Structure 1
C-alpha cells in the first residue's frame, strides 16, 4: 500500500482493526490515533487538518490564522524573529493605554536593533531592502524576489560583495532571477530604478553567472512580445502576428546573433503596421529600451528577407 493510499485509509477508518471498537481518539499533541479500549496506536503521524475557517476580508483572515508568516529569503533573518507591530494594540485587539505607549516604543526600538546584531547582518538587511524597492518599482512577482534574494545570499558567501557596490550586486541578482524564471527585464529597465549604469550591471551579472555557475539560457525575442505590446496598448491580433514573424525569421535563420529586444521591437513594429494599429519607431523604441536605428535596421532586414508587404 502506497503512502497516499495508507493516508486515505487512515482518514476513513472508524473502527479499531484490532478489537473492532469505535472509541477512537485523536491525540494531536503526540500526533497519534489511538483506540481507547485496547490501546492500539493506529497511526503515529496524524496531522491536525484543523477547521476550514471562512474569511471574507483580510482582517478576518489575520484574526483567524493559527500560524505566522512563512519563511522568506527576502528578509535578512528569513522572517523567523519576533517583530513588534507598529499598531498600538495588544493581542486581543484592544488599544494600548497611553501611559504604556512610551514603553512599547522603547521595546520596538530595541527589537529593531537586536535583529541586526553585526555588520554582515546589517549589510544583508540593507541589500534586501534595496532589492524589495527595485522589485516593487519593476512590478516583479514574489517568486522572482525570492530567487533574487537567494542569488544575492550566494554571492555574499562567495565573497563577491567586496569591492563592489551593494546596489550593483542587487541589480545583477534581480536581472539573473528574471532570466532564470522566464520574466526577462532589460538592463535598461533595471538601470532606471537604480543609480548603477547598465554596463556595470551587465559586468557584475557576467561575473556572478560564472562564479555561481547559474544555469541561465539566453533570452528569446518571444519573451518580450507580451509586455511590449501591453505597454503600447496593442491588440491580441498584433501579438499573434508578431509571434508569427519571429517564428518565420527563426526558421530562416535571420535573427541568429541579433539582440532579442531589437528583434522583438522590430517584429511588433511590422505587426502593428500590417494589422492597422501603426506605432511610430520612437514609441516602440522607448518601450523596448533600444534605439530607433536598431529598430530600423532589424525592420528592414525582416521585411526584405521575409517578403513582408510593408514599405522598406
Structure 2
C-alpha cells in the first residue's frame, strides 16, 4: 500500500513539474524577447507588438473574426451569416428542413424496405409541416410559377427576387381574392422585369403564362395601382440588345439602332407607340443601314410582333432621321 502511495506521489510531482515548465514557456512567449515587456495584438494591422519598445514579434496574422462591423445587437444579428442564405424565392425563405429523395444512407448504401417506408413517412410529414396553412400553400405554388416563367424567359435572379417580394406584398394586403394565383404571379414577374430594366413584352409574358393576355394586363394594372409601384414606361432602347443578339447583328448595327431611337424621342414620334415595335423597327432599319441584311420576317419572329407594325414604324424612324439631317 505504501509503495502505491509513493508511486502516486511521484507521478503527481512529475505532472506538476511538466505544468510548471509549460506555464513558463507560455509566459516567455507572451513577453518581448528584447526588453521582456508585455506583447499585445494589433488587430487592424495583423501584428503582435511589444507594448514597451514597439518591437514587431509577428506579422501578417490571420484574422479569424468577421469582415463586417456591428454597433448594436440587432445589427449583429442581421449581419451574422450562419447557415444557408435566406431567399425570397422560397415560401419559407429556405429556412426549413429538406429531406432528399434518394433512399440511401450517408455511406451511399441502399436503405432497407423498412427504412424506406420510414423515410417516406418522414417526407410526407415534413411536407405537411412546411406548408401548414393555405397561405403558405398559395405562396409555394406562386413562387414555383414565377421561377418557371423566369427560367423560360431567361430573366436573372434579381428579377425573380423582386417578383417574389411583389407577390408577397399582394398576398399580405389581400389582393388575391377573386383572382387566380397564376394571374397575380405573372403580373408580379412582368412588373419586376420592368422595374429591373430588363423588360419583356406582354406577348412574351403571355406565351409562358397559363393565363391569357387580357387577364395578365388587367391584373398587372390592378397590382401596380394597389401597391403603388413606381414603374416607368418601357424604354425602346432596353429591347435593342436582346433583339440584336438574337439576330447576331454587329455592335455597329446595335449602336445605329440606338441612334435612331434617340432621334425618334427628340422628334416625339415615340409617344403612344409600342416600345417593342419601335425597337424592332430600329433594329431592322439599322441592319439595312449597316449592310447586314435581315428580313422583316426574322425580326418579327425575334420580337414577336407583326411585320406590318415593323414596316410602319420603320418608315416613321427614317422620316424622323431625314428631318433631323435637313
TM-score (norm. length: structure 2): 0.74
Aligned with 1:47 (options 47, 65, 72): 65
**Preserved CA contact (<8 Å) 2:263 2:320:** no
Distance 2:294 2:145 in 1: 35
Given candidates 282, 285, 288, the residue that maps to 1:273 is 288
Q: Pick one of 112, 115, 120 that aligns with 1:98.
A: 112
Structure number with greater Rg is 2
Please say if 1:199 is aligned against 2:217: no
Q: Which of 19, 43, 46 is the equivalent residue of 1:12?
A: 46
| C-alpha distance in structure 2 between counterparts of 1:156 and 1:48, whole Å | 37
Unaligned runs of 5+ in 2: 1-41, 68-80
Counterpart-to-counterpart distance in 2, 1:87 and 1:256 = 57
Deviation track 1:19-57 (CA, whole Å, cap 9, x = no partner) reads 999999xxxxxxxx9xxxxxxxxxxxx7257xxxxxxxx
Indicate how the Cα distance of structure 1 residues 13 and 197 shifts in structure 2: closer, same or farther if over 3 A, else same. Answer: same
Would the alpha carbon gap of residues 96 and 248 (structure 1) be closer, same or farther in structure 2, given more than 3 Å must change? same
State the distance in 1 between where 2:275 and 2:239 align: 8
CA deviations 1:89-120 (Å, max 9, x no partner) are 44x55435324222222212221121111111
Shift of 1:306: 1.5
Please name the residue that 2:169 is paired with: 154
Q: Does residue 302 in structure 1 map to residue 320 in structure 2?
A: no
Say which is worse superposed, 14-23 or 203-212, in terms of deviation: 14-23
Q: Does 1:241 align with 2:275?
A: no
* CA deviations over 1:131-175 (Å, ceiling 9, x no partner): 111111111111111110000000011111100011010000000
- TM-score norm. by structure 1 comes to 0.77
TM alignment of 1:213-232, pairs within 5 A: 213-232=228-247
**How many aligned residue pairs are there?**
264
In structure 2, do the counterparts of structure 1 residues 17 and 214 end up closer, same or farther at CA, with 3 Å as the change threshold? farther
Q: Kindly provide the CA deviation profile for residues 235-274 of structure 1, in whole angstroms up to 9, marking residues without a partner as x.
A: 2221111111112222232323322111111111111111
Alignment of 1:1-312 (within 5 A): 9-10=43-44, 12-15=46-49, 47=65, 68-90=83-105, 92-99=106-113, 100-307=115-322
Structure 1 residue 15: deviation in Å?
4.2
Tell which deviates more after alignment, 109-118 or 247-256.
Answer: 247-256
How far did 1:283 drift?
Answer: 2.1
Per the alignment, residue 70 of structure 2 pairs with none
1:86, distance to aligned residue in structure 2 (A): 2.0
> Does the residue aligned with 1:14 lie in a helix, a strand or coil?
strand
Report the Cα distance in structure 2 between the residues aligned to 1:89 and 1:71, rounded to whole angstroms: 28
Query: Per residue, is there more helix in 1 or in 2?
Result: 2
Partner secondary structure for residue 90 of structure 2: coil
- Find the aligned partners of 1:162 and 1:93 in 2 and give their Cα distance: 49
Quickly say closer, same or farther: Cα 1:255–1:23, change in 2 above 3 A: same
Change (3 A) 1:130 1:17: farther
Describe the shift of the 1:11–1:287 C-alpha distance in structure 2 as closer, same or farther (beyond 3 A): same
Q: After superposing the two structures, state which structure 1 stretch, 151-160 or 78-87, moved more.
A: 78-87
CA shift in 2, pair 1:253/1:85, >3 Å = same
Other structure's SS at 2:48 match: coil
